[in-house]
Structure 1
Amino acid sequence: MKPIHPIIRTATDNPHRYVVDLGRIGGRRRLYRAGTMAEAEAIAKEQTAIFTRHGSRALDIPTDSIIRMSELLDAIDSRAGRKVTAEAILDYYIKHATGAFCKKKVSVVLTELLAKQGAEQRERSWQTTQSTLRPFVAEFADTPIGDVSRENVSTWLDSRVCPSPSTKARLHRYLHVLFAYAVEKEYIEKNPVDKIKAPKYRLPAKEYMPVESVERVLRAVAEGGEGLAAMAIGFFSGLRTAELGRLTWADVNLDSRQITVGANVSKTYPRNVRMSDNLLAWLSVSGRYDAMVCPRGRRLEAIRADACKRSGVRWPHNAMRVTCATMHYAMHNNAHETAAMLGHAGGTRMFFDHYRALGDGHAATREEAERYWGIAPRRDGNVVAFCA
């Protein structure tokens, strides 16, 4: 690009005015009028700088358009809360105008997310994602993911009639996962759920089974024999119900007193669980009816329901794992050890939020825990409590 050399001369029609002549640029003669020599010199300097920096096209932009553009840039900076470059604005426009961000439909993005989870997680995990997000995807299935705004998501969440605040919080959590995946794949720039506050709710109080109830249930199960090993492991090692369902006798080593919760069994990450004295005693007298520790299908549920009915015991939600976690903490007073036994990654919050339970409004005592970890079988298969 050749440099320009402005010429300033008096106007032929008015000797008291001046003309700034930039010469022929871009196929056009560039002339500017000024009232004074100082104004003419300023115009010459300004136009030379514009041409040098931006080329001939910049000279075609009217002054009022430049002012309007400057106002728009100021407004964008103010709205964004930071300085936004012209390059960033251009990049944003191209991506959205061409559909680079928003052509993928919500239903397609969910399908991709489920495929990713299916390759990395257990079937139950991606099925939970699918079922939780089904109502949202049903409404926005054909909507480009980039067209779903924070207001859309917030309005949809507010309109949902949920049985409890925790259900709505769950929706919020899974929506965040969906849009986080879209951000990761660069389908959108920002997660619209980031600035939507998750619903606050009070976690329902967890309840552990009294020591006497655990004894009565195990006594009833021991009479039949089937399911006794699974129930004992549930009560005294705290495995999840799903983990119990995948556990084989090959994972249970009585000699080393260790239960291996491998990657094929664990919901989160592999771990080893040390057997307590009373669990070892229970497993030593438990029959092995299959390669699997737990009876197949929903058989254990039926065994447990029958045992509760015969022993007159009420079964709280998630009774074995919650009771084990509560009594383990009461016995050892070490939340990190209890969380590790339960297979919780990332500290003790999950334990305190979801597993440390109360009985009759109070936490389990050390004396209760000692009696709990002392529940062991008699030789004839009945239950007796002994000092751990």
Structure 2
Amino acid sequence: MHYDYTVVYYEVNGDTRKRSYFADLKSANEFYAECKRKLKSQANALAGQSAREILEYRSAETIANNMGLSMPELFDKIVQAYKVLKKNNYNGCFFSLLDDYRVWRSENDPNITLDSAVKSYLEMVLASKKRDSTKTSNVNFWNRFRREFSPNGDTPLVALNAKRLESWLIDLKSIKHTNMAKVDKISLPTKHNYLVMLITFFNYCVKMGYISRNPAKFIILPALKRPAPKAYTPDDIIAALKLFEPGSVHRLYICIAAFAGIRPAEIGRLKWLDIDLEERVIRLSSLATKMSSRRTVHVQDNLYEWLHEWREYFGTDKLIVPEVDRVQWLFLKKFKQSGHKVIHDGLRHSFGSYLQALTDDCDLVTEQMGHTLPVFKSHYMDLVSKEDAQRYFAITPQTVKI
């Protein structure tokens, strides 16, 4: 038989595009009208339903499709199975279907919304010992994420899959709130940082039992070429110290970061009684360190001389550098304004690089820095010379004159 007419359509319960062939126009039109009727019927069934109800319906569709059934066929089978169940112990595919759905519901509760999961996560973040700036950036990011993915507050957490998250992250734009909103592109490094935030959040959700697996782990972003690690020169450090008056908290911050390699957030939690000049050590408690494990940092000879500028404070329970975020911000601002190039985590990286060049002892430096050996090798190996290291640790109050 010769077919003159073709109807291209999508299955009601699937994404597969199909073709049907007809010899006459009337049959083709009738088939086309029936396809439209089915699609309209499905649309009416979903209209007015909540995001959770639609998700459950789609999930039931998926299970039905895996069994080679349409939704009407599935309902018919359920009715038939129920009738048979009254007479004897039915053990067919109906029970497999219900078991699949039961497992899906036990592992992915649609009652857990994105809003409730984000609220729980932010409560954990705000109660942690993270820096205030980190807490603020988390609040801003997750409030935006919640607005864009759950404008009505009812989106189930399990509705967020890797494909949807990846598309959002790749197309993400930055909104600067000025008198007129200005939309800028977000850099690739920032997107990679956001990906880390997504992975951390969904790991938390898996741990709490909200979902069964982390969708963010399947997101693929363009490869990020990280810049080679760098360190400040001894002259850079001298210039930075000259920017601030002797005895100032900003100069103290530079000395501890550059000559002890302690992280800014850890400096912000240090107290004067944590410094023991007799033993020449700085003791960081588990509450102060990033990795929540105690660490003891040796006080280098030049740092020992620097710390005497603040000897009146030793033994007190006061913070060494209050408002460390603001202190760090002002240092970086003035350092950049003075014509120097700012290096990310430059003071800490400089300490590690010069100490390694001076001692040639990976284990010692790793212990002092609170790093793992692979991270240490990627950041601090072979960056500077031993001669420069000797100059670096010879920087004392006597060699820095304003």
TM-score (norm 2): 0.62
**Who is 1:275 aligned against?**
299
Residues 208-262 of structure 1: CA deviation (Å, up to 9, x unaligned): 22112323433554x5332333322121001122222332221111101011122
Counterpart of 1:145 (choices 137, 141, 157) is 157
Q: 1:306 to 1:153 in 2, by over 3 A?
A: closer
Task: Establish whether residue 112 from structure 1 lines up as the match of residue 120 from structure 2.
Answer: yes
2:297 counterpart SS class:
strand
Secondary structure at the aligned position of 1:363 is classed as coil
Alignment of 1:122 onto 2:134:
no
Amino acid at match of 1:350: V
User: What corresponds to 2:376 in structure 1?
Assistant: 351
Q: Any conservation in 2 of the 1:248–1:292 contact (CA below 8 Å)?
A: yes
Match of 1:328 in 2: 355
What displacement does 1:307 show?
Answer: 7.5
Q: Against the structure 1 CA distance between its residues 368 and 105, is the aligned structure 2 distance closer, same or farther, given a 3 Å change threshold?
A: same
Conserved 8 A contact 1:251-1:261: yes
What is the CA–CA distance in structure 2 between the aligned matches of 1:280 and 1:340, rounded to whole Å? 19
Aligned residue in 2 for 1:177 = 200
Match of 2:189 in 1: 166
Look at both structures and tell me which one has the larger radius of gyration over its CA atoms: 1
Percent pairwise identity: 24
- Alpha carbons of structure 1 residues 219 and 351: separation in structure 2 relative to 1, 3 Å: same
Task: Determine the structure 2 residue equivalent to 1:224.
Answer: 246
Distance in 2 (alpha carbons) for counterparts of 1:296 and 1:194? 35
Amino acid at match of 1:224: P
Rounded to whole Å, the distance in 1 between the matches of 2:332 and 2:202 is 41
Within 2, Cα distance between the matches of 1:174 and 1:315?
25
1:57 corresponds, among 65, 88, 91, to 88
Note closer, same or farther for the CA distance 1:122–1:313 as it changes in structure 2 (3 Å cut).
closer
User: How many angstroms apart in 1 are the aligned matches of 2:198 and 2:172?
Assistant: 13
Structure-2 change in CA distance of 1:352 and 1:132 (3 Å): farther
- The answer as to whether partners of 1:133 and 1:175 remain within 8 angstroms in 2 is no
For residues 292 and 190 of structure 1, what CA distance do their matches in structure 2 show? Answer: 41
Shift of the alpha carbon at 1:97? 6.3
Decide whether the 8 Å contact of 1:325 with 1:338 is kept in 2.
Answer: yes
CA distance in 1, matches of 2:246, 2:357: 31
What TM-score do you get using the length of structure 1 for normalisation?
0.64
Instruction: Using the TM superposition, give the Cα deviation of residue 120 of structure 1 relative to its aligned residue in structure 2, in angstroms.
Output: 4.5
Task: Check conservation: 1:95, 1:101, Cα contact below 8 A.
Answer: no
Q: What one-letter code is carried by the residue in structure 2 that aligns with 1:339?
A: T
SS at match of 1:146: helix
Any stretches of 5+ residues in structure 2 without a counterpart? 1-84, 174-184
AA in 2 matched with 1:338: V
8 Å CA contact retained: 1:294, 1:300: no
Match of 1:200 in 2: 223
Amino acid at match of 2:247: G
Amino acid paired to 1:108: S
Which secondary structure state, in structure 1, belongs to the residue aligned with residue 217 of structure 2?
coil
Q: CA deviation at 1:191?
A: 1.9
Alpha-carbon contact 1:245-1:293 (below 8 Å) kept: yes
Contact 1:103 1:146 survives alignment (8 Å): no
Please, which runs of 5 or more residues in structure 1 have no aligned partner? 1-53, 74-85
Residues 259 and 300 in structure 2, CA contact (< 8 A), matched pair in contact too:
yes
Does residue 179 of structure 2 align to residue 154 of structure 1? no
Offset of residue 323 of structure 1? 1.4
Match of 1:101 among 101, 109, 115: 109
Aligned to 1:263: 286
Q: Secondary structure at the residue paired with 2:218?
A: coil
Distance 2:254 2:105 in 1: 60
Aligned to 1:22: none
1:187 counterpart (205, 210, 216): 210
Name the structure 1 match of 2:397: 377
Whether 1:247 aligns to 2:270 is yes
**Pair 304,104 (structure 1): closer, same or farther in 2 beyond 3 Å:** closer
Number of matched pairs: 296
* Deviation by residue 1:165-196 (Cα, 9 ceiling, x = unmatched): 22222222222222222222332222222332
Q: Is the 8 A contact 2:270 2:288 kept in 1?
A: yes
More helix by share: 2
Q: Residues 185 and 242 (structure 1 numbering): CA distance in 2 closer, same or farther, change over 3 Å? A: closer
